[in-house]
Amino acid sequence: MSMHRISGSLYFPQVEGLGTTYEAYITSEFLDRFIKEQAVQTVCEYPMCTFRVPGAIGAMLARKGCDVSLATTDEDALRKAEALCTEYGVRRNVQFSRIGFDRLQSNSFDLVFHISVLPTMTRDLGMDPFECISEMSRISRRYVIITNHNLSYSVLLDRMLSFMMRKPSQFGETYLVGVIPVRHMLRRLGLEIQEEFTFDMPPWMATDLSRAVPTIRAYGIRGLAGCNATTIDSIMRKYAFIERSSLPRFLKALHAHHVALIAEKPTRDSP
């Protein structure tokens, strides 16, 4: 598998496609900033992202100096993640846990997060969304970050495409898409939401049209395949012009592919 490295990030354009490569760039950017600002040392991805190469996010964070734990219900994904971390030279800084078999200790991590898996986790991983977030809260000693698909026009387009092609929805359960269901579950668990924001605003829609026209995928990555990390990073920066623009926030929110919520466990006063 061809692996591209830049500033600790991992890119797999030929496997993941253009859209996921851009999302990886933007997600890495805000996670890196958060980890530095909050002096995060221990992190757990719970569960691992299902649409990226297994271990890509964890290996990136380990490369930045964090002690990382990766958890999922998928045993094969754990094996692939371990192989990737070994290849990347960070295996000693990464632990692997199979959800439902290995119990992680309470208050073990500065940060517990997952990337856009909430609406599809029951279908893809056999996990209950609320129980997942409850467990994230239990094992975190301070922060929980959840990113989710934004409830935008792309969700409607995906529903129409899925119906016509008789294929599962790209975005999973619609009632779990967007900021509202995540906000509700975090507050129900007593977590304090510190920040909400939209992100991932490339100049294309979120709906994966390659399911209907497979050649679109090959067209999208033709400028990335075989490129070195510096070139990929430069291309992603150019695609971020909407993200960096001074457009009103509500206009950006209409186009953003994802939302993120940063929550913190309340501080308990000593008796």
The domain 4-264 having CATH identifier 3.40.50.150: the answer here is yes
pTM listed for this prediction? 0.91
* CA dihedral sign of residues 186, 187, 193, 198: positive
2 has a pLDDT exceeding 50:
no
**Residue-level pLDDT at 268:** 66
Please state, for a pLDDT cut of 90, what percent of the chain lies above it: 73
**Residue-level pLDDT at 3:** 40
**Residue-level pLDDT at 166:** 86
- Domain ranges, ordered by start, for the chain: 4-264
Averaged pLDDT score across all residues of the chain:
90
208 has a pLDDT exceeding 90:
no
Q: What are 30-61's pLDDT values in tens digits?
A: 999 999 999 999 999 999 999 899 999 999 99
Q: What are 148-174's pLDDT values in tens digits?
A: 999 998 988 888 888 888 888 889 999
When pLDDT is cut at 50, 70 and 90, the band that residue 7 belongs to is very low
Q: What are 245-264's pLDDT values in tens digits?
A: 999 999 999 999 999 999 99
